[in-house]
Amino acid sequence: MVRQNQNHTLALRGALRSNGRSNERRLIAREELRVETLGRGTYDLTKDVQQIVSASGVETGMCHVFICHTSASLMLCENADPDVMRDLETFMSRITPDGDPAYVHTAEGPDDMSAHVRSILTQSDLNLPVSAKRCSLGTWQGIYLWEHRQAPHSRRVIITVQGAVQGAVQGD
């Protein structure tokens, strides 16, 4: 995966009034991941997302993960047993098979429309709570990109982290 540092820190302004701490500030940080897929399958983004959240300095807040495509998706899923991913793919291939003669949109091949259907049945974004500079995931949860096309693709994933940071603000 390639990490791009475009507009990493978008805004850093104002003291939080909700808890009365004058040294606590709000931060919004944005970073983009480029994921080079090898074709249909799942790609674990957990480590990359956690590193971005940690580097942002946000201690408590939210992490929004968004995929900029209509033939791949995101999921929060079991991360311990690879059979879960195989079973999800088996399920999805049954309900939206490639090359279904009912599909009219086949401009990019037999997996084109089924990839679009798969992406709308899953998710294009995830909202995750942040605590102690990490996404608050359950023990067996991982963040995954699910590539729905058969061929390799370059995928863009935008991670936006917002919330409270402790300490002095640069530029104040």
**Ordered domains of the chain (ranges, CATH):** 2-166 (2.60.120.460)
pLDDT at 143: 98
pLDDT at 153: 98
pLDDT at 16: 39
Q: Which phi and psi angles does 16 have, rounded to 5°?
A: -75, 135
Q: Helix, strand, or coil here: 35?
A: strand
Segments of the chain with pLDDT less than 50: 3, 5-19, 168, 172
Q: What is the H or E stretch that residue 112 is in? A: helix 112-121
pLDDT at 1: 57
Q: What is the H or E stretch that residue 46 is in? A: helix 46-56
Find out whether 130 and 53 touch, Cβ atoms under 8 Å. Answer: yes
Find out whether 163 and 59 touch, Cβ atoms under 8 Å. Answer: yes
**Rounded CA separation 49/84 (Å):** 21
pLDDT at 24: 74
User: Sign (positive/negative) of CA torsion 47, 53, 59, 64?
Assistant: negative
